[in-house]
Amino acid sequence: MQAKQQPRKADHRHTRGINPNPSSPQHSHNVVFTPSQQPFPSLSPKMSVQTKATIASFGGKLLKLTHNAKTTSCEMAFNLYLPPQATVNPLHKVPLLVYLAGLTCTGDNGAEKGFFQHKASEKGIAVLYPDTSPRGLKIEGEDDAYDFGSGAGFYLDATKAPWDKGYKMYSYITSELPETVFENFKQVDSERVSIFGHSMGGHGALTLFLKNPGKYKSVSAYAPIANPSNCPWGQKAFEGYLNDKSEWADYDATELVRKWKGGPLDILIDVGTADNFHAQKQLLPENFQKAAAETRHGEGGVRVRFQEGYDHSYFTMASFADDHVGHAARYLLG
């Protein structure tokens, strides 16, 4: 999310970029490959992905893609960056880094503003940029607020009606989307996957990592909503999407890290000292760091770096992009 809160109708400015004409023949075609063997359960024998645009980026290719997702009951758009190592030689396997974006964002924001492709190109890492929620489900109220509904899926599986019919972003990100990528882009290695994110996406990255020991090689976050049960953004989302308060801890990184049994932690978190949302107690990374230190695996395993003068925007992410991609690279390439 950008530092300045915008009404929902203004969100379109976040997704404008250097997109080629999606109607041109060379940028609109179906891409279907023979499925490769995956450690993921198959959701369908063949998953069609449509390429809307192909953009040169740091020697590789940024692909703008769509597919029909069963988990979210709608068409989902996402971006996939393939580094030059994968585009020059399609048989060369590259690891995958998943970036989860924040409130109001789409898969375009990180791809066009995060500057992650710079280090990813150098290291030979593919980067996956999913959307932040289902779109166009015609649920009453889904477009009424910037922090709930469209653009605010909170990377959980909703259990409260009517949101339980499509707001299944946890299952989408952990299963259906990566399986679709691995099936259609065989040069992406399903055995080497890391995750990171910003704000709501930082919450998503931390919770997905902590809920699935061994699934992701590493995790890092920018300004994560690290203790959503105790902040207004998280409380609004949990009350709206989840049936019972007993479910909240399942999607709260501070609660999940207390139960961590996956071995030593090495989590990088950057927060700007000029981040208004940190000052407003929406992020609470200190709570997460304290909870991690209280576990036998977490002591010293969470590095929270307070970056002087930086805010909640993509300028901050771009400034420290190489650090976060480099953090993932140590585990993906080691």
Task: List the catalytic residues.
Answer: 199, 275, 312
Strands 74-82 and 60-69: antiparallel
* Length of the chain, in residues: 334
Q: What are phi and psi of 285, to 5 degrees?
A: -65, -25
Cβ contacts of residue 12 below 8 Å, gap of 6+?
A: none
